[in-house]
Amino acid sequence: MAKSLTYTCNECGASSTKWSGQCDACQAWNSIVEEKPLAAGPGKKSLGARRGKAIPLTDLATIGEAPPRTMSGVGELDRVLGGGLVKASALLVGGDPGIGKSTLLLQAAARFARNGLKVIYISGEESTAQVQMRARRLGLHESPVSLASETNLRDILTTLEAEKPDFAIIDSIQTMWADHVDSAPGSVSQVRTCAHELTTFAKTHDVAIVMVGHVTKEGAIAGPRVVEHMVDTVLYFEGERGHQFRILRSVKNRFGPADEIGVFEMTGKGLAEVKNPSALFLSERSPAPGSVVFGGLEGTRPMLCEIQALVAPSPHSQPRRSVVGWDAGRLAMILAVLESRCGVPFTGLDVYLNVAGGLRITEPAADLAVAAALVSAREDAALPKESVIFGEISLSGALRPVVQTENRLKEAAKLGFTSAITPQQTKQVAASGLSMRQPRDLASFVEEVFGERK
């Protein structure tokens, strides 16, 4: 009986039984390729036909202390890693082209090498001369980091086994190819196989391995999602090309908190860590209608940022809703609540919303700050300069408290803010010294702050 063929999308990893020009899952064109099944033993139909060997079991009581971490000396990187680099761990770093992934990892490699680790940087995209050129530009050319340029996975593993490094960087996983897999480099089969082999090598040889991953146009790491399940830590390097800020975000970490972020600034000498992101994001703020300071939280770190809104009459029959740095669906919900529960209409008005500095906000605690920015822009009335706002809005117009309010208020007080607008259930922190305004619901907030101008 003939084996059925499987076709897999190189962009999202979706499988189907027939080939087509466009993937039904991610809508990418010419990304579907034939995937050959893994070979089973000759004449073997099941694993039960042949007995395997017993696996030695280990007791929980025999486990010693947690493995020590190696600090890089870059506070923002160590924060995202959960306190430093863990031995025998596998990490995956993704980001847009040209965002600075290779620069960040080369700087990290130099720091770890200076701290006593044996480090190897293997590039499949650049020659060793190109990597040396970048290291010279960054002032890292005297660091004891070994370089190599290779894409053959068998040769790479042989070299790593002979050199016995403590830390290895593979840039990138999409350029690696295993000679026993009949598909092109970058295909789903190759990426999955190479990631599996490198992760297994990291666990069995006590080597920390970082793999760089390309991303799709949607921003997700290209290739099968199973790669993200294989590794211990998944990091995304984010940023807008028009801004000098770069954000290293942890979306999975077996050795520390997920959703932690590190903030860097792109300079002529490479990436410099930003130790006080809130002050940097607010450094160029000028109070105006539609400008609001949001007391946010990224991972375990409180971070203040500016939310800007602009409301203008629309010349079109269908008003425009444009969002940068926030969820467009949540903006539509806030507009509906303002119109339905507070009597603030936005019909016939274009609405533009922006999170300053290229930051992306995902937590619902920004609801109240967004609503305040929208009403402020519509009424052309600026909020008090030294006020910070946060709170979640329900569909009924009620205001709900958010987590870690104490840290948010303390961060605001540290930066010189004197007042805060929060939901009623929020407890005032005596140490913060902020004057609190706690409206009952969204309608009360709009009436209290903008009632005279409405």
Tens-digit pLDDT profile for residues 426-438:
665 554 678 888 9
| Per-residue tokens: 183 | 């598909």
Residue 161: pLDDT over 90: yes
Residue 206: pLDDT over 70: yes
Name the 3-class secondary structure at 149.
Answer: strand
At 41 the pLDDT is 43
CATH code of the domain made up of 284-450: 3.30.230.10
Q: Hunting for tokens 């926030």 — which residue is that?
A: 326
Which residues sit opposite 311 in a β-bridge?
351
Q: Extract the runs of DSSP E, i.e. beta strands, from 291-447.
A: 291-298, 301-313, 321-324, 349-355, 387-389, 392-393, 399-400, 419-421, 435-437
At 34 the pLDDT is 77
Q: Is 102 annotated as a binding residue?
A: yes
Q: Is 124 annotated as a binding residue?
A: no
Q: Is 421 annotated as a binding residue?
A: no
At 127 the pLDDT is 94
Q: Which CATH superfamily is domain 69-275 in?
A: P-loop containing nucleotide triphosphate hydrolases (3.40.50.300)
| Per-residue tokens: 227 | 């790669």
CA 264 – CA 83 distance, rounded (Å): 17
Mean pLDDT, to the nearest integer, of 204-233? Answer: 87
Looking at residue 173, what DSSP letter applies? G
Name the 3-class secondary structure at 75.
Answer: helix
CA 199 – CA 210 distance, rounded (Å): 9
4 pLDDT band (50/70/90 cuts)? low
40 pLDDT band (50/70/90 cuts)? very low
Task: Return the higher-pLDDT residue of 243 and 77.
Answer: 77
Cβ–Cβ under 8 Å, residues 325 and 360 = yes
Q: Is 98 annotated as a binding residue?
A: yes
Task: Return the higher-pLDDT residue of 425 and 354.
Answer: 354
At 432 the pLDDT is 64
At 214 the pLDDT is 87
Q: Is 348 annotated as a binding residue?
A: no
CA distances from 100 to 5, 167, 232, 262 (A): 39, 20, 22, 14
Taking the whole predicted model, whether its pTM rises above 0.85 is answered as no
Q: Which of 147, 124, 120 is nearest to 134 (CA)?
A: 147
Residue 353: pLDDT over 50: yes
98 pLDDT band (50/70/90 cuts)? confident
At 430 the pLDDT is 52
- Bond prior to 283 in cis (omega within 30° of 0): no
Residue 215: pLDDT over 60: yes
Tens-digit pLDDT profile for residues 267-323:
888 899 988 888 878 877 778 899 999 999 988 889 999 999 999 999 888 999 999
Range with the poorest average pLDDT among 112-126, 179-193, 213-227, 265-279: 213-227
Cβ–Cβ under 8 Å, residues 371 and 339 = no
CA 21 – CA 19 distance, rounded (Å): 7
Q: Is 95 annotated as a binding residue?
A: yes
Looking at residue 430, what DSSP letter applies? G
CA 71 – CA 80 distance, rounded (Å): 12
Cβ–Cβ under 8 Å, residues 269 and 280 = no
Q: Which of 25, 8, 29 is nearest to 186 (CA)?
A: 8
Range with the poorest average pLDDT among 39-48, 117-126, 167-176: 39-48
Task: Return the higher-pLDDT residue of 285 and 452.
Answer: 285
